[in-house]
Amino acid sequence: MPKLRLQGNPNQVRYNGQRALIMSDTPQPSPAVEVAFSLRIGEGTLNAKLDVPAGKTTLTELLPILQNFDSSIIDHVVSEATGAGHPVSCRAGCGACCRQMVPLSIFEAEFLSKWFSTLPVERQAELEERFRRALIRLKEAGVLDKIMDPNWGTDEKSFVQMAVDYFHAGVPCPFLEDESCSIHPIRPLICREYLVTSPAELCQDPSVHQISAIHLPIMLSQALYKMGQELTRDPRGWMPLIFLLAWGKRGVKPGDYFSGTGQEVLRMFMEHLTNEPPAAGATLMQPR
């Protein structure tokens, strides 16, 4: 794999000798310190520099930086694929994939729950109603009871079948508006990492049609799942996004268990970012 170089501020990437600026969705914390690191990915190396908080932070608070890092890697893999004649077919307005069960890490759940609490009361009520209706539809389709079964997901086969059943229920993500993601800048990492090059119409039923995916050399979502596994002793390390609001009412802060200076938290994250097998069911959204 060719080397990728990610600069911190300004956000600049070197990938196959090409330069590009990356627009950050969220401002960098201040004060910050630059951290340089290298990752072995297969037979290649990823060299990067990131600006992280100099003081104490948590894994959840570090998520905006990890989101931008993930998007930077994805953007340049997509650029390379496009140059090779395999452009991504995903577009705003094509929300077929937003009817899949989304594996949401507990840290992203904490992040989104905090964001949700800052919304106007009217907007919160609107989203709460969407989540409620989605859960009712999943209940009527017989999917919710399967998800709640403690024996669900004991093997990859049951995970895949659940993903198929969930998709066939046709329940859109509560954040989907006009077939586009209404939380696109802060969407989960796994949603960023789900990209296809096959015709968009095939996504209407990926359990039937052969879907061609963009191969990412590394997936940051997997590290969050593994850290969730470690903390909760759950073989999944994630929850279905549809449970976000119910989970958020518990007020738990899993990110606090991975805290320290920005450098220390980033090091913890990178230690979980390996090429080991993913967390159980973590590849549900990935095209086969």
pLDDT in tens, 41-59: 656 677 888 999 999 999 9
- Classify residue 39: in a domain, yes or no: yes
pLDDT of residue 13: 34
- Classify residue 92: in a domain, yes or no: yes
- Classify residue 279: in a domain, yes or no: no
Supply the pTM of this predicted model.
0.83
Dist CA 207 CA 186 (whole Å) = 28
- Classify residue 86: in a domain, yes or no: yes
- Number of domains, the chain: 1
- Classify residue 283: in a domain, yes or no: no
Average of pLDDT values for 124-130?
A: 97
Domain assignment of residue 208, given as a range: 4-271
- Classify residue 174: in a domain, yes or no: yes
- Classify residue 17: in a domain, yes or no: yes
- Classify residue 209: in a domain, yes or no: yes
Q: What is the mean pLDDT of the chain?
A: 80
Reply yes or no on whether the pLDDT at 139 is more than 50. yes
pLDDT of residue 175: 96
Q: What residues contact 201, with CB distance under 8 A and at least 6 apart?
A: none
Containing 123, the helix (H) or strand (E) segment is: helix 121-140
The DSSP secondary-structure symbol of 145 reads H
Alpha helices in 51-99 (DSSP H): 63-83
